[in-house]
C-alpha cells in the first residue's frame, strides 16, 4: 500500500515544490531571529560568518538532501528511516533516521503555539488592543496572552488569550496536510508565498519612508537603524567602574550609531570616566558565539537537518531538476531573510525607540517581535494597519513552515504501517495535540517551549545534519551523490563542492557542535571559567526543574515510539534482502 500511496501523491509542478520548500524555510526566524542576531553580533561581521556558514553548511547539506531524497523516493521511501536505510545495509542509519521524525514532530508541538501568537497579535492589532506606552506594558500583555505568567493560564479563549487562535491554526494545519502534497501543502504555498512577499514589500516601503519620526530625537532614525544593523565596525561608549580594590573595569554603556551620538560620545570621553572604543570586523569574528548564532540561523532558516527537504524531495520524479530547484528555494529564503527581514524590524525599532531603547527592550526573537514591535506600530502613523499586515505576514510564514513539519511523520506512518492518509493524519494529530497541550499548559516562563527548543531545535538538529552529510559523503559516496544530483539538472554543482561536502562540511559541523557543547552546555566563558548551562542544571542540578524533566521525557517518549515502529517495519529489511540500492 505504501508504494501505491507514493505513486498517487506528489507535486503538480516544479514551481510548486520550490514554493513548498521555500515556505518551509521562510518562517518567523527570517523576520525576527535573523535581524536580532545581525544587530547583536555586528551586521558586517555577522554576515561574513553567516555567508560562510551558508556556503559550507547550508548549500552542501541542502543539495545533499535534495539528491538523497529523490534517490530514495524512487525506491518508494519517503521518510528518513526508510531513506537512510536505502544508503546503508547496516541497521544503524535507519534508527538515526528516527531523528528526522522526532525533530519535526516535537518542533511542531511548540511552533504551532507560536504560530497562534502571530494570528492572535494580528487580530488584536487590527482591533486596536495593542497600544503600549512602555516595554513593561507590552511584556505584561505578552505574558497574559501566551500564559507565560502562570501555568495553565494559556488555556483561555477570549480575544486577548491564545487558546482560540491555537485551535484555529491547529485545525488549519491538519486540514491542509490531510488534503495531501499537491492539494494541501502545494496549493497553500502557491498563494501564501506570493502574498507574504507582497505584504513584506508594503511594510518595507513604509519602514524606509519613516525618516525621523520624532524631530526632538534626530538620532532616532531609520538610517541609524540600518547603521546599527549593518555597520561593519562597531563603536561603543564605555564607562570606568572601579571595584572594591580600586581596580578599573571598562563596562559598555551603549553602542554609538550616527554622527550626533558619536559627537556626544566623544564629548563625554574627554573625561577620564568614559572612553570610546571601536571594534573591527576581524575582532568581532573571533567571537565563537557569533559563529554559533550564524550556523544556528542557517540550520533553522533553511530547514536543513529537519528531515523536511528529504521528505519533500522524495516525491519528485526521476529527472526533476534538484540542483536548480534547491538553489532557487534557498535563494528565495535568503532574499526574504536578508533583504526583507534585515531591513524591516530593527530599523523600525531604532527609529522609534533609539539604539539604547531597543537594547534595553531586548533583541531576542520574542522580545523583538512581541514586545518591541507592538510599541513601534502603536506610535507609527497608520500603525494599526501596518501592524496587522506584519503579524499576518508572520502567521503566513509560520503556517508554511509548520505544514512542512507534519509531512515527515505522515510519510512514515503511510510507509511503515501502510496506513492511508486519513489514518496517518488521525494518529499524528493525536500525538501532536497531546504534545501541544503539554507545552501550553506548562507555559509559565515558556519553560516547556524553551527546553524542547534547546534539546530538539538546536542539539538534535546538529546531530542529524552531521550524520546526514557523513552518510552522503562517506557511505553513499560524494561522486555517486553528485551523479544523482546532476540527473536532469540544467546546471552543475561547482566541482569545489565535492571536497567541501566530503571533508569541509563535516569538519565545520563537528567544530561548531564542539563550540556549542563548550559554551552552551558546559557554560565555559572567555575567561576559562565554567558554569553549567541552565538547560543542564534543570536536569541534574541541586534543584531539578520538574517541567524541564517532563519536557525531556516527552522527547524520549516520542523517540522510543518511533524507534519501536521502525524496528517492526518489514519493508526496510525486505529492501536489502531483495538486493536493494539499485543504481538506476
Residue 188 in any domain: the answer is yes
pLDDT surpassing 80 at residue 359: no
What is the reported pLDDT for 509? 94
The pTM of this model reads 0.92
pLDDT surpassing 60 at residue 216: yes
- For residues 521 and 569, state if they share a domain: yes
What is the reported pLDDT for 406? 95
- Average pLDDT on 356-378 reads 82
The pLDDT tens digits for 372-406 are 889 889 888 999 999 999 999 999 999 999 999 99
Residue 223 in any domain: the answer is no
- Average pLDDT on 287-292 reads 87
Q: How many angstroms separate the CA atoms of 60 and 470, rounded?
A: 12
Q: What does the DSSP assignment read for 498-532?
A: HHIIIIIHHHHHHHHHHHHIIIIIS-B-TTS-B--
Residue 217 in any domain: the answer is no
Q: What is the CA radius of gyration of the chain?
A: 24
CB 14, CB 394: distance < 8 Å:
no
The pLDDT tens digits for 450-496 are 999 999 999 999 999 999 999 999 999 999 999 999 999 999 999 99
Residue 226 in any domain: the answer is no
**Residue 2 pLDDT level (bands cut at 50, 70, 90):** very low
> What is the dihedral angle through the alpha carbons of 294, 295, 297, 303, rounded to the nearest 10 degrees?
160
Domain harbouring 317, CATH code? 1.20.1740.10
The pLDDT tens digits for 18-57 are 999 999 999 998 998 898 888 778 777 888 999 999 999 9
Domain count of the fold of the chain: 2
Q: Which three cell numbers stand for residue 379?
A: 506610535
- Average pLDDT on 428-443 reads 96
Range of the domain at 238: 234-279
CB 552, CB 451: distance < 8 Å:
yes
- For residues 184 and 246, state if they share a domain: no
- For residues 393 and 339, state if they share a domain: yes
What is the reported pLDDT for 528? 59
160-164, 199-203, 278-282, 467-471: least confident range: 278-282
- For residues 290 and 426, state if they share a domain: yes
Residue 390 in any domain: the answer is yes
Q: Which three cell numbers stand for residue 189?
A: 504555498
Q: Quick one: three-class SS letters along 394-436?
A: HHHHHHHHHHHHHHHHHHHHHHHCCCCHHHHHHHHHHHHHHHH
Residue 221 in any domain: the answer is no
3-state secondary structure of 240: strand
| Domain end point (choices 224, 258, 279) | 279
Q: How many angstroms separate the CA atoms of 445 and 423, rounded?
A: 36
Query: Average pLDDT, whole number, for the chain?
Result: 90
What is the reported pLDDT for 580? 65
The pLDDT tens digits for 490-528 are 999 999 999 999 999 999 999 999 988 988 888 887 665
572 backbone dihedrals φ, ψ, rounded to 5°: -70, -40
Q: Which three cell numbers stand for residue 199?
A: 505584504
- For residues 339 and 250, state if they share a domain: no
The pLDDT tens digits for 111-166 are 999 999 999 999 999 999 888 888 888 889 999 999 999 999 998 889 999 999 99
- For residues 382 and 271, state if they share a domain: no
- For residues 241 and 343, state if they share a domain: no
**Residue 1 pLDDT level (bands cut at 50, 70, 90):** very low
Q: Quick one: three-class SS letters along 349-368?
A: HHHHHHHHHHHHHCCCHHHH
What is the reported pLDDT for 400? 95
Residue 222 in any domain: the answer is no
- For residues 295 and 271, state if they share a domain: no
pLDDT surpassing 70 at residue 290: yes
- Average pLDDT on 534-561 reads 94
pLDDT surpassing 50 at residue 583: no
241-255, 460-474, 570-584: least confident range: 570-584
- For residues 381 and 488, state if they share a domain: yes
- For residues 269 and 379, state if they share a domain: no
- For residues 274 and 388, state if they share a domain: no
- For residues 289 and 266, state if they share a domain: no
**Residue 584 pLDDT level (bands cut at 50, 70, 90):** very low
| Helix%, strand%, coil% for the chain, nearest 5 | 70, 5, 25
Residue 253 in any domain: the answer is yes
Amino acid at each position: 500500500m505504501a508504494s501505491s500511496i507514493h505513486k498517487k501523491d506528489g507535486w503538480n509542478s516544479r514551481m510548486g515544490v520550490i514554493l513548498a520548500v521555500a515556505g518551509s524555510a521562510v518562517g518567523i526566524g527570517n523576520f525576527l531571529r535573523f535581524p536580532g542576531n545581525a544587530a547583536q553580533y555586528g551586521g558586517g561581521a555577522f554576515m561574513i560568518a553567516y555567508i560562510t556558514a551558508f556556503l559550507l553548511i547550508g548549500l552542501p547539506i541542502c543539495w545533499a538532501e535534495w539528491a538523497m531524497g529523490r534517490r530514495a523516493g524512487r525506491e518508494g521511501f519517503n521518510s528518513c528511516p526508510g531513506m537512510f536505510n536505502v544508503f546503508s545495509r547496516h541497521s544503524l542509519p535507519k534508527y538515526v533516521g528516527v531523528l528526522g521524525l522526532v525533530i519535526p514532530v516535537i518542533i511542531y508541538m511548540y511552533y504551532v503555539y507560536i504560530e497562534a501568537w502571530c494570528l492572535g497579535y494580528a487580530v488584536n492589532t487590527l482591533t486596536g488592543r495593542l497600544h503600549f506606552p512602555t516595554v513593561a506594558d507590552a511584556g505584561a500583555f505578552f505574558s497574559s496572552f501566551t500564559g507565560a505568567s502562570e501555568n495553565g493560564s494559556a488555556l483561555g479563549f477570549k480575544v486577548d488569550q491564545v487558546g482560540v487562535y491555537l485551535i484555529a491554526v491547529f485545525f488549519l494545519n491538519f486540514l491542509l496536510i490531510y488534503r495531501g502534497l499537491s492539494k494541501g501543502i502545494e496549493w497553500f504555498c502557491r498563494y501564501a508565498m506570493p502574498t507574504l512577499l507582497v505584504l513584506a514589500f508594503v511594510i518595507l516601503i513604509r519602514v524606509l519612508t519613516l525618516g525621523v519620526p520624532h524631530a526632538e530625537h534626530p538620532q532616532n532614525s531609520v538610517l541609524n537603524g540600518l547603521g546599527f544593523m549593518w555597520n561593519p565596525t562597531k563603536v561603543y561608549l564605555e564607562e570606568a567602574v572601579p571595584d572594591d580594590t580600586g581596580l578599573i573595569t571598562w563596562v559598555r554603556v551603549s553602542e554609538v550609531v550616527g554622527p550626533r551620538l558619536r559627537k556626544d560620545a566623544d564629548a563625554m570621553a574627554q573625561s577620564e570616566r568614559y572612553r570610546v572604543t571601536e571594534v573591527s570586523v576581524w575582532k568581532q569574528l573571533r567571537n565563537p558565539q557569533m559563529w554559533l548564532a550564524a550556523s544556528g540561523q542557517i540550520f533553522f532558516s533553511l530547514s536543513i537537518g529537519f528531515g523536511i527537504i528529504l521528505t519533500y524531495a522524495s516525491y519528485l520524479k526521476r529527472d526533476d531538476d534538484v540542483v536548480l530547484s534547491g538553489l532557487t528555494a534557498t535563494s528565495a529564503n535568503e532574499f526574504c531573510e536578508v533583504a526583507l527581514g534585515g531591513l524591516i524590524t530593527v530599523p523600525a525599532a531604532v527609529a522609534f525607540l533609539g539604539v539604547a531603547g531597543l537594547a534595553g527592550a531586548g533583541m531576542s526573537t520574542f522580545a523583538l517581535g512581541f514586545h518591541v514591535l507592538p510599541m513601534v506600530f502603536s506610535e507609527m502613523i497608520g500603525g494599526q494597519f501596518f501592524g496587522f499586515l506584519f503579524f499576518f505576514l508572520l502567521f503566513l510564514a509560520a503556517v508554511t513552515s509548520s505544514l512542512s513539519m507534519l509531512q515527515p511523520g505522515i510519510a512514515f506512518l503511510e510507509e511503515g504501517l501502510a496506513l492511508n492518509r486519513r489514518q496517518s493524519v488521525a494518529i499524528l494529530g493525536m500525538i501532536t495535540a497531546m504534545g501541544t497541550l503539554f507545552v501550553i499548559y506548562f507555559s509559565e516562563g515558556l519553560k516547556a517551549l524553551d527546553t524542547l527548543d534547546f534539546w530538539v531545535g538546536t542539539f538534535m538538529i546538529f546531530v542529524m545534519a552531521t550524520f546526514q552529510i557523513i552518510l552522503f559523503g562517506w557511505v553513499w559516496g560524494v561522486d555517486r551523490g553528485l551523479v544523482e544530483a546532476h540527473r536532469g539538472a540544467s546546471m552543475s554543482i561547482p566541482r569545489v563542492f565535492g571536497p567541501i561536502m566530503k571533508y569541509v562540511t563535516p569538519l565545520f559541523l563537528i567544530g561548531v557542535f564542539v563550540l556549542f557543547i563548550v559554551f552552551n552546555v558546559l557554560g565555559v566563558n572567555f575567561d576559562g571559567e565554567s558554569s553549567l548551562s541552565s538547560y543542564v542544571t534543570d536536569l541534574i542540578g541541586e534543584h531539578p526543574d520538574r517541567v524541564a524533566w517532563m519536557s525531556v521525557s516527552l522527547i524520549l517518549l516520542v523517540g522510543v515510539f518511533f524507534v519501536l515502529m521502525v524496528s517492526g517495519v518489514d519493508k526496510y529489511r525486505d529492501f536489502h534482502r531483495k538486493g536493494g540500492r539499485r543504481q538506476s
